[in-house]
Amino acid sequence: MEYKELDVKSVISYLKDVDEVMDYFCGDDLEAKEIGNGNLNYVYLVSSISNPKKALIVKQAVPYLRCVGEEFALSRQRMTFEIRALLKFKNIVTSVIPKIYHASEDMSIVVMEFLDSHSILRDGLTSRVKYPNFSEHISTYLANTLFKTSSLCLDSTQKRELVYEFNANSELCKLTEDFVFTFAFMQNETNDEENVKNNPLAKKLFLDMEFKVKVLDLKYKFMTASDALIHGDLHTGSVMLNDKETFVIDPEFAFVGPFGFDIGALLANLVNNYIRHSVVTKDEDFKKYLLQMIKEVLELFNKKFLKLWEVQSDSALLIDGYIDANTASKYREKFLKEILRDSVGFAGCKMARRVFGVAGVAEIRGIENQKLRLDAEALVLKIAREFVIKYEKIDSIEDILEIIIAG
Ligand code: ADP
Ligand code: SR1
Ligand code: MG
């Protein structure tokens, strides 16, 4: 089918020709509204007029970057990778990915389950909601998706086929290279100019060569490592949850990249939320809860990833009989420590880019009191800098928590 950009009217006509969707609604009295608040795409909530509880989400990519406007061309091919990643991750951890009713790479469209009783994690944490199962669910997602798409599990051919399937997602990788690793740390027209102007923190950051050279190392890892299929944009806006269920959405940045990038994205966003509570609510109980969550996610990831690896026999990397059991165990531990270290480095870049870069996060950029916002930004940059400068020397999760608390 030839691509056509849909709107609230034409999306309904489109769906009427999709059997799986019509079977779900059992009737054609449908209405649509646009609910997308994202940076890139259009998201429609389509519901039955006679039974509004019956509803689905339709997400379509358009050939430009929505948050900038039609003048910023961006090919809609990103939806091809989002569809492929949703299906791949669904096969690996079914319960964490919304049910998919229809997907078309030609139309750059996906139709999925409407998560009607779930909140965006960023919003929930900002409102101080606690989620008892989040650490368990997200660590299972991270350990399984990263391990099972890596050379520690796949054979050599499978791994190269995976790279072939995903690594043409070049435009979105380039967005990350520019917006996460580069523009936010220098004078650039895409930055939040109001904030950069006459701001001593911006001046200091842009001249901080020690920090910027370390960022280059991390950017290079991002550009060259092909460890596992990663989500690529796993901030707290890409998680929807309630106290029972956790879902990961929006994997349009997916490609075969470094192990530590998704863990780093999550860590960065949890720390930014912690900083908001340090400065705005000053809620010590919630701050403790966030630290505990960070500790649990990292510990459980480590444990689950190791467990998967311990029972894996032959893979592209390691075949049975190559090394003895004791050496293998030490090797695995060293390997996991490197993942932790890289996660911390990536987290530092991801935190810092939210201060002056084009895409801020609500819990920091949305602080209305200007003095408090400047305090929060200073704290973000301080912790982010420590993460980036020290990531190669991190030995334990305690080291990470110390940096956050000392911030
Ligand atoms: P973008 O890629 O443009 O950033 P997202 O995939 O993040 O778009 O979706 C934008 C918003 O749409 C989300 O923040 C969420 O509020 C809503 N949304 C997306 N998918 C669902 C879903 N399956 N159920 C409910 N709401 C959703
Ligand atoms: C200009 S792209 C802005 C950001 O939105 C996405 O969610 C990614 O985080 C990207 O860096
Ligand atoms: Mg997105």
3-state secondary structure 150-218: CCCCCCHHHHHHHHHHHCCCHHHHHHHHHHCCCHHHCCCCCCCHHHHCCCHHHHHHHCCHHHHHHHHHH
The answer to whether 258 touches 342, Cβ cutoff 8 Å, is yes
Which atom of ligand 1 lies closest to the CA of 66? Answer: 3
CA angle 320, 321, 326 (to 5 degrees): 100
Query: What pLDDT sits at residue 189?
Result: 95
- Encode the chain (407 residues) as per-residue pLDDT tens digits: 899 999 999 999 999 999 999 999 998 899 999 998 767 899 999 999 999 999 999 999 999 988 778 888 999 999 999 999 999 999 999 999 999 999 999 999 999 999 999 999 999 999 999 999 999 999 999 999 999 999 999 999 999 999 999 999 999 999 999 999 999 999 999 999 999 999 999 999 999 999 999 999 999 999 999 999 999 999 999 999 999 999 999 999 999 999 999 999 999 999 999 999 999 999 999 999 999 999 999 999 999 999 999 999 999 999 999 999 999 999 999 999 999 999 999 999 999 999 999 999 999 999 999 999 999 999 999 999 999 999 999 999 999 999 999 98
Q: Best substitution site from 250, 252, 269 to test ligand 1's pocket, by max atoms within 8 Å of Cβ?
A: 250
Give distance in angstroms: CA of 85 to centre of ligand 1: 16
> Domain 119-406 has what CATH class?
alpha beta
CA of 79 to the centre of ligand 1 (A): 13
- 316 CA distance to ligand 2 centroid (A)? 33
Place of tokens 């994690």: 121
The CA distance from 405 to 339, in Å, is 22
pLDDT for 65 equals 85
pTM > 0.95: yes or no: yes
Taking the C-alpha atoms of residue 95 and residue 145, their distance in angstroms, rounded to an integer, is 13
- Most ligand 2 atoms within 8 A of CB, residue of 175, 219, 346 to mutate: 175
Ligand nearest to the CA of 245: 1
Q: Give residue 72's pLDDT.
A: 86
Ligand 2 atom closest to Cα of residue 235:
9
Sheet holding 239-241, edge to edge: 119-120, 239-241, 246-248
What integer pLDDT is reported at residue 40 of this predicted model?
87
Neighbours of 4 (CB within 10 A): 13
Q: What CATH architecture applies to the domain 10-113? A: 2-Layer Sandwich (3.30)
**Whether 111 contacts 15, CB under 8 Å:** yes
**Ligand 2 center from residue 307 Cα (angstroms):** 33
Pocket of ligand 1 (CB under 6 A): 35-41, 43, 57, 59, 98, 112-115, 120, 237, 249-250, 252
> Which ligand 1 atom sits nearest the alpha carbon of residue 42?
3
- Domain locations along the chain: 10-113, 119-406
Structure confidence at residue 237 (pLDDT): 97
| Helices (runs of H) and strands (runs of E) counted in the chain | 16, 12
DSSP state letters, 2-51: ------TTHHHHHHTT-HHHHHHHTS--EEEEE---SSS-EEEEEEESS-
Please tell me the distance from the alpha carbon of residue 216 to that of residue 201, in angstroms, as a whole number: 20
Output the pLDDT for position 67.
79
Residue 70's pLDDT is 87
Shortest-distance atom of ligand 2 to CA 250: 7
Please give the pLDDT value at position 27. Answer: 87
Q: Other C-beta atoms within 10 Å of 119: how many?
A: 16
Q: For residue 207, how many other CB atoms are within 10 A of its CB?
A: 10
